[in-house]
Structures are given as structure tokens and as C-alpha cells.
């Protein structure tokens, strides 16, 4: 159906409808813009989330990368970052393909609509002006007819009076009345002609207005409206296609996450725990019975490397105080600060062997790099010798000399670490040994057996608290500590933290509030103020001390009676 024929009299309604259509396009364009902003913000949040959980550049990252579930998580983060990039593509395409195009089209649409309705109003004004002129001609014709009729009646009245003499006719203006009547009739006749002519002209203009001019204008408006609707439909289709275009890449990202999840191997990860924390020590043998009914010294085990020395008898009832919390914290701090000995002698044999082997591998890689540089410079020098115009061969010699010195230093380092590695492998205990090894394979201070009661020998979590025995002295003679401690104190770490060389802090298991101030003068403790809130990272194991943290770098032990502890539910359950 055509607007020109069906809606010829709905000019005002069409004007309102087309204006509403433009407003709808503006609303849809605003919707697309807001959707684009949402995609941008979503992509930004996804990228920030991925960045937040990316591994930090420290030694912990190397440890985590050994486990398949950690590698799968890192892969998921990378895929998630690519996934965020696809949402940025969606936002970019929505802006360029819809929002910008619709903004430009809206300007053109408004200008076109304004032109069409301007022509329509002009045509209406013209036909209304013609109608007013027609009405004016009609009223003039009507007035002239009435005046002519009155003049004719007056003349006839005077002419019909039989009592009027000729002198009276002349006197009373009978001839003038006749002339006036004739003039009025002529004017009415002229007005009739003008009215008839203008009426014919108006009818023609009105016919053109309602059958040609207005239909043409309305047809243009109809075409404009249909194009607008078609354009909106195309934008809606593009709106969906923009998402569809990134689905293949999004699918690849999701496939990458799925593949990473399927690559997780629980048995491999559990075996890696063994590789990471295996100390190389053998479980301790049975503790020998000591008869205090006789004045005798404790005999040394046959397998002990200290059997060549006599054990020194310790006074009964004397034992060192429980210092294991402070010693543990000292070892943790020394590992964090990287102050361990160069030969990794602070580690158990198996872990020491792995560290030494890794150090040797790194040095060999450096040697290969230096050799590659030396070979490249040697070839360059040969080229300079054959073609002096390309460069001076002597200019390469200083660098070759420097590289040669670097290689010699690295090779000396390799020999040093290989010597330590050979020593460790020679001393590694075999699995066939059934007796407890001597202090040679213990940490820097070996575990001693006390002459006192059993409960004084061990701290609540299994750490020894007595002085070193003769085995420690044997170890000190065989493998002396380069930095001996003038006041030896036990350094055995409790439980699974004994040889923990991890840089990462312990996980938080709760919070606590200091009830009293504690100065924390002893090593391993931390000073707290009354009312201070701290994180609990290790609860009291029966010795009266709780391990707390103020921040990532400040942690230590405080008396349990000085604080009010609130453990997390999962920590309590465990």
C-alpha cells in the first residue's frame, strides 16, 4: 500500500511517526554503545583477573611449574587472557560496524526527513492560499450580485410609478438609476467570470496537490521509512554476527582450557612431592635402653661414625630449654635471605644433591653460551683477516680474552660443584641400611638423645631440644661448617617444615588480637602492641607459642597466653 493514496490526509500523523522512527534508531544506537562499553569493561576485568593470578617472578614459580595442576592453571590464565581479547574485538566491531555507521546514518535521515516535510508544508501552504483566494473571489461575486439586484429593483420601482411625470423622471434621476443598475449587472458579470476562472484553476491545483504532489512526498517518506527499518534490521544482524565471528577463537580458548585440565596427572604430581621433599635420610632405629641403675655411659651405635670417639656424659636432669620455635624461624629467615652456604650443606642429602645438580646444569648452560660467543667472534676475526676492509682483526681480541677468562671461571665453578656433588652421592644412604645413620647425614646440628626423661627430649611437634651429642662432633670433624656457631643450639626443623626452603609464606589459618604488649627480644619472636590485630599462620602445638604474621616480611612467635586466637573453620576441622 502507498502512503500517498491511503494516507493523503494524515500529514501530521506521518510527521509524528517518522519522528518516532528516528528516536527508535537513536535508542538502538545508544543500546549498542552501552553493550560495547560493557564488553570493554568485562574484558578489562578478565585481564586484571588473569594478571592477578599469574605466577610471580620468584623461586616459588619454578617450584609450582613442576606440578601438572599448576601448569594447567597457568595455561587457563593465558587462555582466559586471550578470551578477554575476543571481547575487546566484539566491542571494537560493535563500535565501528554499528555505532559509528548508525550515527552517520541518523544525521542523513534527519536531513532527508526535514526536506520532505518542508516540501509537504510548502505544498499545503500553497493550496491553502489558493483556497483563500477562491473564497475571496466567491464573496466578491456574491456581493456584486446582491448590489446589482438591489440596483435593478430600485430602477424597476421608479419606472413602474405611473404618477411620475417626465419632469419628475428627470428630476428624480430615473436615468441615473438605470445606469447604476446596468453598471452593477456588469460588475456582477465580471465577478462571475473571475470566480469561475479561479474556481477552475483551484480545482486543478487541488487535484494536483492531492493526487500528485502530496503522494510523491509521502512516497519518498515511505521509502525513507522502509530504508530506516531495513537499516535497523541489518544492524541487528551485524550485532549477532559480531559475536558469531569470535566464537571459533573463543572455542579454541575453551578447548585450550579443557586440554590443560585433561593434562593434569594426579600420580605424577604426587610423585613430584616425593622428588621435591625427599631428604635422603633413613627412618630412625629403635632407641636403646639406658640403665640408670648402673654408673655407665651410653654406648655408641655400631653404625655411628663417632664410634672412634668416647661419648661425653651429660649431667642428669639438665637439658637445654625449648628453643625450637626460634631456631625454626632463624632457618626460615636465612633461607629467605639467601644466606645459606654455597654448597647447600644446610639441606638434607637428597635435596642438596638436586640443588647441586641444578647449579651444575645452569653453569654448563652459561659455558655453552660463552663458547657460542667465542666461536662467533673467532669466525668474525677470520673474516676480518681475509677481508681487512671489513674490520680490524685485533679489535676482537679483547673480547675473546674476556670470554676465555669467563669460561675458565665457569669451568672452575663446575668442578667445585661437581666435587660437592660427588661427595654427596658417595655419602647418600642406601636403601638396604636397616640401622640409623650417624650425624654425617644430619642437618648442620644433629639430633641428640638426652640422658633425661623422654618428654624433655622432644618438643610438642617432634623437634629435639637438647645439646648435641658425640655424633654431632664427628660430623663437625668430617664436614666442618664454614661459619661455626660459637653457641651451638639445635636447628632441627619440626615436622614437614624441617627442610623447607620455600620462599612463599605460610598460609593464614586465622586471626588474633594481642591482649597484652610483648617486646619480643629473643630471636624468632615478634614484638606486638596491646590490641594489635595479626594473622595466625601456625597454632600452638603445646609449647605455649603461636606463630603470627604482621605482613609478608614480619612474622614470628608470641606467647599464646598473650593473644586471643580466632581460627578459621576449615583450620579447626583440619
CA dihedral 272, 274, 277, 282 (to 10 degrees): -160
Q: For residue 181, what pLDDT is reported?
A: 80
Candidate from 55-59, 155-159, 454-458 with smallest mean pLDDT: 454-458
- Left, alpha or beta for 508 (phi > 0: left; psi -120 to 50: alpha)? beta
Q: For residue 173, what pLDDT is reported?
A: 63
Distance, CA of 260 to CA of 285 (rounded, Å): 45
Q: Please say if the pLDDT value at position 117 is more than 50.
A: yes
**Contact residues for 381 (Cβ-Cβ < 8 A; gap 6+):** 393, 396, 397, 400
Q: Please say if the pLDDT value at position 193 is more than 70.
A: yes
Candidate from 94-108, 202-216, 227-241, 319-333 with smallest mean pLDDT: 319-333
> What's the CATH code, domain 510-567?
2.30.30.40
Q: Which of 83-97, 341-355, 458-472 is predicted most confidently? A: 83-97
Q: Please say if the pLDDT value at position 186 is more than 60.
A: yes
Q: For residue 310, what pLDDT is reported?
A: 40
Mean residue pLDDT of the chain comes to 76
CB atoms within 10 A of CB 524: 21
Q: Please say if the pLDDT value at position 99 is more than 90.
A: yes
24 to each of 29, 30, 100, 105, 139, how far by Cα in Å? 9, 10, 16, 13, 49
What is the mean pLDDT of the segment spanning 117-143?
89
pTM of the predicted structure, to 2 decimals = 0.50
Instruction: Report helix, strand or coil for 275.
Output: helix
Q: Please say if the pLDDT value at position 508 is more than 60.
A: yes
Q: For residue 166, what pLDDT is reported?
A: 59
Q: For residue 460, what pLDDT is reported?
A: 36
**C-alpha closest to that of 438 among 338, 555, 302, 566:** 302
Distance, CA of 482 to CA of 491 (rounded, Å): 16
Q: How confident is the model at residue 440 (pLDDT cuts 50, 70, 90)?
A: very low
Establish how many alpha carbons lie within 13 A of residue 132's alpha carbon, considering only the half-sphere containing its beta carbon. Answer: 6
Q: Which of 76-90, 417-431, 492-506 is predicted most confidently? A: 76-90
**Contact residues for 295 (Cβ-Cβ < 8 A; gap 6+):** none
pLDDT in tens, 37-78: 999 999 999 999 999 998 877 656 677 888 999 999 999 999
% the chain with pLDDT above 70: 74
Q: How confident is the model at residue 162 (pLDDT cuts 50, 70, 90)?
A: low
Q: Please say if the pLDDT value at position 407 is more than 80.
A: yes
What is the mean pLDDT of the segment spanning 5-17?
85
CB atoms within 10 A of CB 318: 12
CB 279 within 8 A of CB 499: yes
pLDDT in tens, 298-348: 444 444 444 434 433 434 433 333 333 433 443 443 444 344 678 777 777
pLDDT in tens, 485-498: 333 333 333 343 43
Distance, CA of 94 to CA of 236 (rounded, Å): 11
% the chain with pLDDT above 90: 30
Length of the chain, in residues: 574
Q: For residue 258, what pLDDT is reported?
A: 94
Topology, domain 3-269: Substrate Binding Domain Of Dnak; Chain:A; Domain 2 (1.20.1270)
Q: How confident is the model at residue 165 (pLDDT cuts 50, 70, 90)?
A: low
CB 547 within 8 A of CB 499: no
The number of helices, as runs of H, and strands, as runs of E, in the chain is 14, 5
DSSP string, 89-103: HHHHHHIIIIIHHHH
- Give the end-to-end CA distance of the chain in Å, rounded to a whole number: 79
Q: For residue 439, what pLDDT is reported?
A: 37
Q: Please say if the pLDDT value at position 146 is more than 90.
A: no
pLDDT in tens, 532-542: 999 999 988 88
Q: How confident is the model at residue 278 (pLDDT cuts 50, 70, 90)?
A: confident
Q: Which of 151-155, 460-464, 503-507 is predicted most confidently? A: 151-155
Distance, CA of 143 to CA of 351 (rounded, Å): 126
Amino acid at each position: 500500500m502507498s502512503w500517498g493514496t491511503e494516507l493523503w490526509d494524515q500529514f501530521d500523523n506521518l510527521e509524528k511517526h517518522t519522528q518516532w522512527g528516528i528516536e527508535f534508531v537513536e535508542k538502538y544506537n545508544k543500546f549498542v554503545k552501552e553493550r560495547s562499553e560493557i564488553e570493554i569493561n568485562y574484558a578489562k576485568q578478565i585481564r586484571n583477573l588473569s594478571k592477578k593470578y599469574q605466577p610471580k617472578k620468584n623461586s616459588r614459580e619454578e617450584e609450582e611449574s613442576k606440578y601438572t595442576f599448576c601448569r594447567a592453571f597457568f595455561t587457563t590464565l593465558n587462555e582466559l587472557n586471550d578470551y578477554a581479547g575476543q571481547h575487546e574485538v566484539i566491542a571494537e566491531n560493535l563500535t565501528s560496524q554499528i555505532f559509528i555507521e548508525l550515527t552517520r546514518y541518523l544525521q542523513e535521515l534527519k536531513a532527508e526527513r526535514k526536506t520532505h516535510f518542508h516540501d509537504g508544508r510548502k505544498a499545503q501552504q500553497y493550496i491553502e492560499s489558493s483556497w483563500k483566494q477562491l473564497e475571496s473571489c466567491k464573496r466578491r461575486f456574491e456581493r456584486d450580485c446582491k448590489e446589482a439586484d438591489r440596483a435593478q429593483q430600485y430602477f424597476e420601482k421608479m419606472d413602474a410609478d405611473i404618477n411620475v411625470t417626465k419632469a419628475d423622471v428627470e428630476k428624480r434621476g430615473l436615468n441615473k438609476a438605470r445606469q447604476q443598475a446596468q453598471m452593477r449587472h456588469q460588475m456582477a458579470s465580471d465577478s462571475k467570470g473571475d470566480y469561475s476562472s479561479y474556481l477552475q484553476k483551484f480545482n486543478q491545483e487541488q487535484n494536483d496537490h492531492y493526487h500528485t504532489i502530496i503522494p510523491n512526498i509521502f512516497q519518498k517518506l515511505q521509502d525513507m521509512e522502509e530504508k530506516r527499518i531495513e537499516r535497523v534490521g541489518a544492524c541487528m544482524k551485524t550485532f549477532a554476527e559480531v559475536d558469531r565471528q569470535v566464537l571459533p577463537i573463543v572455542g579454541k580458548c575453551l578447548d585450550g582450557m579443557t586440554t590443560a585440565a585433561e593434562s593434569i596427572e594426579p600420580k605424577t604430581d604426587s610423585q613430584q612431592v616425593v622428588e621435591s621433599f625427599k631428604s635422603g635420610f633413613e627412618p630412625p632405629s629403635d632407641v636403646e635402653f639406658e640403665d640408670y641403675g648402673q654408673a655407665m655411659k651410653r654406648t655408641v651405635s655400631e653404625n655411628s661414625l663417632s664410634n672412634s670417639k668416647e661419648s661425653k656424659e651429660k649431667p642428669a636432669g639438665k637439658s637445654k630449654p625449648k628453643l625450637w620455635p626460634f631456631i625454626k624461624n632463624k632457618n626460615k629467615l636465612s633461607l629467605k635471605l639467601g644466606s645459606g652456604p654455597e654448597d647447600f650443606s644446610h639441606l638434607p642429602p637428597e635435596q642438596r644433591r638436586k640443588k647441586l645438580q641444578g647449579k651444575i646444569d645452569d653453569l654448563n648452560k652459561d659455558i655453552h653460551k660463552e663458547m657460542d660467543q667465542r666461536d662467533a667472534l673467532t669466525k668474525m676475526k677470520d673474516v676480518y683477516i681475509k677481508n681487512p676492509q671489513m674490520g680490524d682483526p685485533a679489535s676482537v681480541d679483547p673480547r675473546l680474552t674476556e670470554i676465555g677468562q669467563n669460561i675458565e671461571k665457569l669451568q672452575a665453578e663446575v668442578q667445585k660443584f661437581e666435587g660437592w656433588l660427588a661427595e654427596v652421592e658417595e655419602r647418600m644412604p642406601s636403601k638396604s641400611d636397616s640401622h640409623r645413620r650417624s650425624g654425617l647425614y644430619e642437618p648442620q646440628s644433629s639430633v641428640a638423645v638426652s640422658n633425661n626423661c623422654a618428654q624433655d627430649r622432644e618438643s610438642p611437634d617432634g623437634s629435639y631440644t637438647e645439646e648435641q651429642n658425640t655424633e654431632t662432633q664427628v660430623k663437625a670433624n668430617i664436614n666442618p661448617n664454614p661459619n661455626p656457631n660459637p653457641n651451638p643450639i639445635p636447628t632441627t626443623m619440626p615436622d614437614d617444615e624441617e627442610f623447607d626452603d620455600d620462599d612463599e609464606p605460610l598460609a593464614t589459618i586465622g586471626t588474633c588480637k594481642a591482649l597484652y604488649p610483648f617486646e619480643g627480644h629473643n630471636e624468632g619472636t615478634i614484638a606486638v602492641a596491646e590490641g594489635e590485630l595479626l594473622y595466625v599462620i601456625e597454632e600452638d602445638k603445646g609449647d605455649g607459642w603461636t606463630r603470627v604474621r604482621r605482613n609478608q616480611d614480619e612474622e614470628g612467635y608470641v606467647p599464646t597466653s598473650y593473644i586471643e586466637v580466632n581460627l578459621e573453620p576449615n583450620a579447626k576441622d583440619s
